[in-house]
Amino acid sequence: MRVLVFSDIHSNLTALEAVLAAAGNVDAYWCLGDLVGYGPDPNECIAVVRDLPNLVCVRGNHDAATLGEVDQNTFNHEASLAITWTKRILNAESQEFLLSLPERQKIDDITLVHGSPRNPVWDYIMDYMTAERMFQFFDTRICLVGHTHVPAIWKENDVDAPRGMVQDYQKTKILTKTILNPGSVGQPRDHDPRASFAIFDPQESQWELRRVSYNINEVQSRIKKSGLPWRHALRLAEGW
């Protein structure tokens, strides 16, 4: 079984299309939230994700903020501007889809959240000490998270050699209780501008991170045309 695991699209249709093409034929699609925010294509991205077969999707903090469920004052100024812009152009079908998304999903021995198993919408897991505290909040063997925009593997009781941020893209056999992050489709923040995603085989418990290039200039042009903060366009070119 091949599952495309992806997160943090952030209204970047060009990156999303590149990921879907690079993934090829898969049996299911698992999305870890933040379909909107920052980028110029919220309705288009939601429409594409909504129509994927065998989709499992959870709600992210930008999705929640766009629905008015999270206070925009908790975001930085430019992120808040993008949320306001997204609220203005989001169509009824897109709103309905975001409203339908739960904060947490469970598939057999796998938990899916956006932020963390403790606080599915908002928590960040950025380091091993934080990750270690999170293992008590899920009872499955694997927890899939997004939110940080950085691919990572966190293994329980792995103090001597925690993996943390992942910079190699080999297939990894998941043998212990583990938190996995596929990175970001639409706004990577690990200084690699290529869209990040993972192919997961739950039956073989095999995780493979992947990257794919996309036309960043094209997205930057749409950001400029939309009037969104230019910083959101600049960061795409260097992945920060």
Domains plus CATH for the chain?
A: 3-237 (3.60.21.10)
pLDDT reported for residue 166 = 67
31 forms bridges with which residues in the sheet?
A: 6, 57
Per-residue confidence at 222, pLDDT binned at 50, 70, 90? very high
In this model, does residue 15 exceed pLDDT 60?
A: yes
Radius of gyration of the chain from its Cα atoms, rounded to whole angstroms? 17
Question: The pTM is what?
Answer: 0.96
pLDDT reported for residue 157 = 86
Per-residue confidence at 193, pLDDT binned at 50, 70, 90? very high
| Averaged pLDDT for residues 146-152 | 97
| Averaged pLDDT for residues 173-183 | 95
| DSSP output for 24-42 | -S-SEEEE-S--SSSSS-H
CA distance 216 to 9: 14
In this model, does residue 175 exceed pLDDT 70?
A: yes
> Which positions ≥6 away from 101 have C-beta within 8 Å?
33, 57, 58, 59, 63
pLDDT reported for residue 159 = 63
Region at 226 (left for phi over 0; alpha for psi -120 to 50; beta for the rest): alpha
Q: What is the pLDDT of residues 24-46, one digit of tens each?
A: 999 999 999 999 999 999 999 99
CA distance 188 to 206: 23
pLDDT reported for residue 165 = 65
In this model, does residue 103 exceed pLDDT 70?
A: yes
> Which positions ≥6 away from 235 have C-beta within 8 Å?
187, 189
Per-residue confidence at 126, pLDDT binned at 50, 70, 90? very high
Rounded to the nearest 10 degrees, how much is the dihedral formed by the CA atoms of 238, 6, 198, 144?
Answer: 110
pLDDT reported for residue 158 = 76
pLDDT reported for residue 203 = 95
Question: What burial class does residue 170 get, using C-beta atoms within 10 Å of its C-beta: 0-12 exposed, 13-18 middle, 19+ buried?
Answer: exposed
In this model, does residue 58 exceed pLDDT 60?
A: yes
Per-residue confidence at 101, pLDDT binned at 50, 70, 90? very high
| Averaged pLDDT for residues 174-200 | 97
Per-residue confidence at 164, pLDDT binned at 50, 70, 90? low
In this model, does residue 160 exceed pLDDT 70?
A: no
Q: What is the mean pLDDT of the chain?
A: 95
In this model, does residue 136 exceed pLDDT 60?
A: yes
| One-letter identity of residue 110 | I
